Amino acid sequence: MTHVIQIPDTGFVAVTGKDALKFLQGYTTCDLNDLTPSLAGLGATCNLQGRMLANYRIVRIEDGYLLRMHARLTEPFISFLSKYIVFSKAKLEDCSDRYKAWGVIDDQEQPPAPAGSCEALDDGWRIRISDKPNFEIWSEKDLTVTGTDLQWQALEVAEGILWVNNETTETYIPQMFNLHGLGGIAFDKGCYLGQEIVARMQYRGELSRKLYRGSGADLQTGDELSTPEGKAIGQVLAIAGGQFLAVLQSKTELSEVTTPGGKSVAVSLAQTA
């Protein structure tokens, strides 16, 4: 059975023009030279301190690149990059009114294909988001919805996919969202804004916080978690169907956490990478 969901809170930004590659390459963690019309990618744009302003899925289009990110970050993303683009033959455009993002969960057997495989459609693109037959469709047309938001959220939690939003922007470095494990950081590309911090964490330091997947009842997105002794360890950033993603202190090994209200909750934790 195939489930189609309109992915909530999605926005689109296009970076186009003669200098689109040259410009954006200096402000994204991925290597744009790896992208082709048949291969999409993941990436993030960081501030000087290496904190993600936004992360996104990115597709090569005829005259540049199209990025899907959280809807409430398109305006600050464009405002941030506008300071740097003035001398480039490139432009930034919010395309959120033009495209919608749809999630497709297909439990029917399909030929194997790698995550990121991209197929151009008449009015958009179909992107495989994992090695399973799960896709994003970016389209100018509406599709018939046959699934629920919760189904898509549960899929992303299971895959360890987490999106920066207006509450977490400029808070986390890319590795804290396991972006490197998802192929969204190219450590061998040239310099980009925030690259020094991102590279230092990879080669010279140890992350203070990492992404964990867990299960536990009575948790809410945004909950600040503590040890039973009251030591803060991190925050729940996504939750669906009793499963959650949280950025926690590295090497966290707990079977019980404390919520902001002081309630003890039994959990099972596993580091995503």
Residue ranges and CATH numbers for the domains of the chain are 2-159 (3.30.1360.120), 208-273 (2.40.30.110)
Per-residue pLDDT reduced to its tens digit, 86-127: 999 999 999 999 999 999 998 776 777 889 999 999 999 999
Once rounded to an integer, what is the mean pLDDT over residues 31-59? Answer: 98
Once rounded to an integer, what is the mean pLDDT over residues 256-265? Answer: 84
State residue 166 phi and psi, 5-degree precision. Answer: -65, -20
Per-residue pLDDT reduced to its tens digit, 180-190: 999 999 999 98
The larger pLDDT score, comparing residue 38 to residue 133, is at 38
Give the pLDDT score at 241. 85
What's the CA gap between 171 and 140, in Å, rounded? 32
Give the pLDDT score at 273. 62
Taking 90 as the threshold, does the pLDDT of residue 166 lie above it? yes
With bands split at pLDDT 50, 70 and 90, how would you rate the model's confidence at 263?
Answer: confident
Give the pLDDT score at 113. 86
User: In this structure, what is the dihedral angle of CA atoms 120, 180, 168, 241, given to the nearest 10 degrees?
Assistant: 80
Handedness of CA 139, 140, 145, 146 (dihedral sign): negative
Give the pLDDT score at 256. 86
Count of CA atoms in the C-beta half-sphere (13 A) of 264:
8
CB neighbourhood size of 261 (10 A): 7
What's the CA gap between 82 and 32, in Å, rounded? 19
Taking 70 as the threshold, does the pLDDT of residue 229 lie above it? yes
Percent of the chain scored above 70 by pLDDT?
99
CB neighbourhood size of 22 (10 A): 13
What's the CA gap between 247 and 249, in Å, rounded? 7
Give the pLDDT score at 112. 77
What's the CA gap between 195 and 29, in Å, rounded? 7
Taking 70 as the threshold, does the pLDDT of residue 18 lie above it? yes
Long-range contacts of 84-91 (CB under 8 A, 24+ apart): 84/23, 84/26, 84/27, 85/23, 88/17, 88/19, 88/22, 88/23, 89/17, 89/18, 89/19, 90/15, 90/16, 90/17, 90/18, 90/19, 90/20, 90/22, 90/23, 90/24, 90/64, 91/15, 91/16, 91/17
Judged by average pLDDT, the poorest of 111-115, 193-197, 208-212 is 111-115
Per-residue pLDDT reduced to its tens digit, 232-249: 999 999 999 889 999 999
Which residue in this structure is represented by tokens 């299971």?
Answer: 158
Enumerate the β-bridge partners of residue 125.
Answer: 120, 138
